[in-house]
Amino acid sequence: MIQIKHKRSGKTLKINTFWLRDHCRCGDCYNVETKQRKYNLLDIPKTVKPLKAEYIKDGLQYEVHWTDGHISVYDIDFLHDAQVEHVVARAEDSTVRTPWNQPFIVAHEDQLRTTLVELVSTEAAVRKIVQSLIRYGIAFVDGVPPNTTMTEMAVRRIFPPMKTFFGEMYTFSDVQDHADTAYSKQYLGLHTDNTYFCDAAGLQSLHCIRHVNGIGGDSFFADGLHAANELRHRNPRAFEILTRVQVPAEYIEDGQYHKHSAPIIRVDPVSGQIVQLRLNVYDRAQFDSVPQEEMQDFYESFRDFLEIVQRIENHWRFKLQPGTVVIFDNWRVFHGRHAYTGQRTMTGCYVQRTDFLSKARVLGIID
């Protein structure tokens, strides 16, 4: 270990010497244009050690002469910010995500909406949508002509659609084109999509482009982050069980068989922050991932969570009208639909998580 003084904070950093050598950012070690390392880890001798080290640039940089003949110069701010305790502290201090229930989100609805005209003509509107998705997990684009082409144009202004076996853009009604309850007129409880995928879509967009000769079909949304936080506070043991137990899900139709197991609540192993909610009571497969002796604990924990999720004060209910595209975080916000009559057609798409977060980082909304 080597100790380096961080002048701005007054703290002493204790840094592993091999980690330090591995994080050299000189032109021989790091390509500043592609932001990639330029060497194989095995190119660094296993026994590499500092021969000489000194502070330079008024204590803001640190120069190290290594036993392999290399010379590295480090910005000490970079070394400070790269330590895990500071990563965790930044995550704990973060106010980027705001959990919500129904009264709260209704009071802040103006922060969630923009129009198609604004979206295609200003970068500020793009930023507003992405910021809303990061903070609240849901956003709306109004004034979109009710067809698939214009819905796609609205989404593509911000993100590339994700291609699945449903297609890039999908259109569905009560015609049973796929083995999914969404392709019906039945009630659909709160859920996330793609629990059977190894990597569930990060975002989902929906646009009701037609509903005639009938009633019903109201959509409702709930913030899984709010519900999971409450469970963590109220019943830590249930929360822990739902972060640990692998719950199998599957999707089966002619030519398709998708299956995946993961916890209902996924937390970051470093920061402890909630990363993903994965909730779909319909797509659950045969539950065979824990011994029978542990089943009761799981079911009681699951029921506790569902009771929080299904509280009416956590549900934001409204009817999706032609002209409004809703985009929501499929890793956070649960969505459902009331039964309906008549003929209704929906269109929309998924967006990969990596594309969503990449856009948020490019805009400087998240690190």
Q: Which CATH number goes with the domain that contains 78?
A: 3.30.2020.30
Give the end of a domain, one of 23, 49, 82: 82
- Residue 90 in any domain: the answer is no
- Residue 163 in any domain: the answer is yes
For residue 130, list its beta bridge partners: none
Give the end of a domain, one of 28, 52, 82: 82
pLDDT mean by block of 10 residues, the chain; 367 residues: 93 96 95 93 95 95 96 96 83 78 97 98 98 98 98 98 95 75 87 97 98 96 98 98 98 95 96 95 95 97 98 97 98 97 96 98 93
295 shares a domain with 180: yes
- Residue 74 in any domain: the answer is yes
284 shares a domain with 186: yes
Counting the structural domains of the chain, the total is: 2
pLDDT tens, position by position, 228-256: 999 999 999 999 999 999 999 999 999 99
- Residue 313 in any domain: the answer is yes
Helix axes 295-309, 236-244, angle to 10 degrees: 110
- Residue 239 in any domain: the answer is yes
**Residues of the domain holding 73:** 2-82
Give the end of a domain, one of 82, 114, 147: 82
141 shares a domain with 67: no
Buried b (16+ CB within 10 A) or exposed e, 158-194: bbebbebebeebbbbbbeeebebbbebbeebbbbbbb
- Give the pTM: 0.90
